[in-house]
Amino acid sequence: MSSSRPALLTVEGLTMRFGGIVANNDVNFTVDQGSITALIGPNGAGKTTVFNCVTGFYKATEGRIRLQTEAGEVEVGELLTRPVLGGSYLVARAGIARTFQNIRLFKEMTAVENLLVAQHQRLNRNLLAGTFDSAGFRAAEDEGIERAFHWLRVMNLLDDANKLAGSLPYGRQRRLEIARAMCTGPRLVCLDEPAAGLNPSETEELSELIRRLRGEHGVTVLLIEHDMGLVMGISEHIVVLDHGEVIADGGPAHIRSSPAVIAAYLGTETTEVTP
């Protein structure tokens, strides 16, 4: 909002229609470089749809989603519609990583393998080098393993390194999914309800982790969350959606006192409050 930091992600006039249903209507917001931004709203407000548009899983019907990268500005819609090779994987390569509401780990692979898959782009993919286990291949592989263990350490998952991802407890699976997203080396990491299904102490640990991701590892965070304690505690910028439209946008204090937000969550007798 009124911060001096440059915007990393700019969403302009995002509209998403599924047939006759308008999931998002003219959504505008920005995510500042190095910020923790939360996207909140009642069930069915269209939060996940915005998320899917930003991470390239949906092609927005209208509007532009621009990401600042080292190589300049990238438009998400353009990556998706690129001829032949276009696709959501390009969005991930441009620097937007994500997690999923219902965890999508590679369940029958170990935690380390999950993280190695995420580093696909950085490893040595030369077929010959790999077949003959060349020095270059080994070096790249070692580096990848090192990076995987680094993120396991950050996420406090070292003990689970060689366990199958599917066999881990729920809270650890969530953390592993974040570690996996971080292994792609993103500029923006999008967390879809990271605290869903976690108990209070795990949620506390998670909010500490997210703060550290931003503080120590210099990544910008965009998250959807229903746990208001978590949202108000860690995010400096909150975007509230209701019925597919942005009804409030600002810092936690502003959101807490916004009549439109209160109306959307709690309902009011005077229904004209919506902006």
Partner 1 sequence: MRAKVHEPIDFGHALRDALVTGVLTLLVLGPVTNLVLDGYAITAELLRGPLIVNGIGLALVVALGRFVVAVGVQTPAGRDLLTRFGQKGAHGVTVETAADNDWHRVLRPLVIGGALSLLLLVLSRFGLMDVQRAAALVLIVLFVVLGQGLGSLRRRGQSSPWRILVPLLFVAGLVLPLLFNAWGLFPKTWIGNLILALIYVLLGLGLNIVVGLAGLLDLGFVAFYAVGAYFLALGAQYFGIGFWTALLCAPILAACCGAVLGFPVLRMHGDYLAIVTLGFGEIIRLILNNWLEVTGGPNGAPAPGPSLFGLEFGRVARGEGNTPFHEFFGLEYSADYKFLFIYLVLFVVVAAMIRFITRLRAMPMGRAWEALREDEIACRSLGINHVVVKLTAFMMGAMTGGIAGVFFATYQGFVNPTSFNFFESVLILAIVVLGGMGSTLGVIIAALVLTLLPEVLRDFADYRVLLFGALMVLMMIWRPRGLIRPKRPAFAPKGA
Q: How many CB atoms lie within 10 A of CB 159?
A: 10
Site for partner 1 in 102-121 (CB under 8 A): 104-110, 112-114, 116-118, 120-121
**How far is CA 162 from its chain centroid?**
25
Contacts with partner 1, 147-176, as mask; x by CB under 8 A: -xx-----------xxxx--x---------
Please state, in angstroms and rounded to a whole number, the distance separating the CA atoms of residues 19 and 61.
10
Q: Which residues are paired to 192 by β-bridges?
A: 224
> Smallest distance, Å, CB 59 to partner 1?
13
Binding range to partner 1, per CB under 8 A, among 26-34, 86-94, 222-230, 266-274: 86-94
Listing DSSP states for 212-231 in one string gives HHHHHH--EEEEE-S-HHHH
Contacts with partner 1, 178-217, as mask; x by CB under 8 A: --xx--x---------------------------------
Site for partner 1 in 15-74 (CB under 8 A): 55, 57
Burial class (CB in 10 A: 0-12, 13-18, 19+), 211: middle
Interface residue with partner 1, options 142, 229, 257, 267 (CB under 8 A): 142
Please report, for residues 139, 206, 241, 266, 267, the alpha-carbon distance to residue 271 in angstroms, rounded to integers and kept in the order given.
63, 37, 17, 11, 8
- Tokens coding 162: 């060689």
Element (H, E) at 135: helix 135-154
| In contact, 40 and 226? CB cutoff 8 Å | yes
Burial class (CB in 10 A: 0-12, 13-18, 19+), 60: buried
Using CB under 8 A as the binding rule, whether residue 82 contacts partner 1 is answered as no
Tell whether the torsion through CA atoms of 115, 118, 122 and 123 is positive or negative.
Answer: positive
Using CB under 8 A as the binding rule, whether residue 130 contacts partner 1 is answered as yes
Interface residue with partner 1, options 28, 101, 124, 156 (CB under 8 A): 124
173 versus 203: smaller Cβ distance to partner 1: 173
Using CB under 8 A as the binding rule, whether residue 81 contacts partner 1 is answered as no
Longest distance between any two alpha carbons in the chain, whole Å: 73
> Smallest distance, Å, CB 134 to partner 1?
11
> Smallest distance, Å, CB 232 to partner 1?
28
> Smallest distance, Å, CB 224 to partner 1?
15
Binding range to partner 1, per CB under 8 A, among 18-26, 95-103, 197-205, 237-245: 95-103
28 versus 124: smaller Cβ distance to partner 1: 124
Number of amino acids touching partner 1 (CB under 8 A): 49
Burial of 167-189, coded b for 16+ CB within 10 Å and e otherwise, reads ebeebbbbbbbbbbbbbbebbbb
Contacting positions for partner 1 (CB under 8 A): 55, 57, 85, 87-90, 92-93, 97-98, 100, 104-110, 112-114, 116-118, 120-121, 123-125, 127, 130-131, 133, 137-138, 142, 145-146, 148-149, 161-164, 167, 180-181, 184
